[in-house]
Amino acid sequence: MADPAHKDAPCMPCSVEATLNLIDGKWKIVILYKLLKGTLRFNEIRRLLPGVTQRMLTNQLRELEADGLITRTVYAQVPPRVEYNLSELGRSLEPILMAMKAWGDANLNRSLPAAEAA
Partner DNA sequence: CCGTATCCAAGCGGATACTG
Partner DNA sequence: CAGTATCCGCTTGGATACGG
Binding stretches for DNA (CB under 7 A): 25-26, 41-44, 51-56, 58, 61-62, 72, 74, 79-82
Which one of its own copies, DNA, none interacts with residue 14, CB within 5 to 8 A by kind?
A: its own copies
What is the side-by-side strand order in the sheet with 70-75?
40-41, 81-86, 70-75
Query: How far is the C-alpha of 21 from the C-alpha of 78, rounded, in Å?
Result: 37
Residue length of the chain: 118
Q: Does 83 bind its own copies (CB under 8 A)?
A: no
Buried b (16+ CB within 10 A) or exposed e, 91-117: eebeeebeeeeeeeeeeeeeeeeeeee
Smallest gap from Cβ 30 to its own copies, in A, equals: 6
Q: Does 116 bind its own copies (CB under 8 A)?
A: yes
Q: Which residues make Cβ contacts (< 8 Å) with residue 15, sequence separation at least 6?
A: none
End-to-end CA distance of the chain: 44
Interacting span for its own copies (CB under 8 A) from 38-46, 53-61, 75-83, 98-106: 98-106
Among 63, 67, 85, 91, binds its own copies (CB under 8 A): 67
Of residues 51 and 79, the one with the C-beta less far from its own copies: 51
Which residues in 13-32 contact its own copies (CB under 8 A)? 13-20, 22-24, 29-30
